A and B are shown apart, each in its own frame.
Chain A
Amino acid sequence: MADLIENTMEEMEEDTQKGRFLTFLLGNETYGIEIKYVTEIIGIQTITEVPELPDYVKGIINLRGNIIPVMDVRLRFKKEPKEYNDRTCIIVIDINDVSIGLIVDSVSEVITIPEQDIVEPPKMGNGFNNRYIKNIGKVDDDVKLLLDCEKLLTEDELEELNESL
Chain B
Amino acid sequence: MAGSYNNEPLLEMFVFETTQLLEQLEQIIIANCYEQENINEIFRIMHTIKGSSAMMNFKNISMLTHKIEDLFYFIRDNKPPNIDYSKLSDIMLESIDFIKLEISKIENGNKLDGDSSPIREKVDNFLTIIKDFNYKAEAAEEKTENSAEKAEEDSKIQNDVLSNKKKFKATVFFEEDCELENIRAYTLINDLKTIAEDIYYIPDIEKSDSAEIIRKDGIQIWFKTDISFNDVHSILSKTIFLRNMELIELEESNESNQHINSNIKQFHTDVASSMKDMEQNTHMLSSNQSMISVNVAKLDKLMDLVGELVISETMVTHNSDLEGLKLDNFQKAASQHRKIINELQDIAMSIRMVPLSATFRKMNRIVHDMSKKLSKEVRLEIIGEETEVDKNIIECISDPLMHIVRNSIDHGIEPTEERKAKGKPDVGTIILEAKNVGGDVLIIIKDDGRGLDKRKILDRAKARGLMNRPESELTDKEIYSYIFLPGFSTNENVTEYSGRGVGMDVVAKNIGSIGGTVSVDSIPDKGATITLKIPLTLAIMDGMIVRIGNVSYTIPTLNIKESFKPKENDVIRDPDGNEIIMIRGECYPVLRLNELYKIKTDITSISDGIIVMVESEGKYLCIFVDALVGERQVVVKVLPKYIRNFKKIRGIAGCTLLGDGSISLILDIADLITE
Contact = CB atoms under 8 A, between A and B. Distances in A.
A50 interface: yes
B642 A69 contact: yes
Given A62-B662, A65-B308, A67-B637, A51 B643 contact: no
Interface stretch (A26-34, A53-61, A108-116, A132-140): A53-61
Contacts of A100: 640, 642
- Give the interface size bracket for A toward B: 20 to 34
Interface in B294-310: 304, 308
B671 to A, nearest CB: 12
Contacts, number: 69
B646 interface: yes
B652 A50 contact: yes
Contact of B646 (A46, A67, A160): A160
A150 interface: no
A91 to B, nearest CB: 15
B650 interface: yes
B641 A62 contact: no
Contacts of A98: 640-642
A60 B598 contact: no
Contacts of B304: 65
B598 to A, nearest CB: 7
B551 interface: yes
A69 B640 CA distance: 6
A98 B643 CA distance: 10
B195 interface: no
A65 B657 contact: yes
Interface string A95-138: 00111100000000000000000000000000000000000000
Contact of B599 (A46, A49, A157, A160): A49
Given A57-B643, A60-B639, A67-B640, A52 B662 contact: no
A48 B640 contact: no
Interface residues of B, number: 27
B662 A153 contact: no
Contacts of A25: none
B657 A53 contact: no
Contacts of B646: 53-54, 57, 156-157, 160
A68 interface: yes
Contacts of A99: 640, 642
B665 A48 contact: yes
Contacts of B643: 50, 53, 57, 60, 69
Given A46-B662, A62-B657, A67-B663, A52 B650 contact: yes
Interface string A63-77: 001011100000000
Central interface residue in A49, A153, A157, by most chain B CB within 10 Å: A49
A65 B657 CA distance: 8
Interface in B144-177: none
Given A53-B643, A60-B643, A69-B643, A48 B649 contact: no
A49 B598 CA distance: 10
Contacts of B9: none
26 contacts: A48-B551, A48-B664, A48-B665, A50-B639, A50-B643, A50-B649, A50-B665, A51-B596, A51-B599, A52-B649, A53-B643, A53-B646, A54-B646, A57-B642, A60-B639, A60-B663, A61-B663, A62-B661, A67-B639, A67-B640, A67-B657, A67-B663, A98-B641, A100-B640, A156-B646, A157-B645
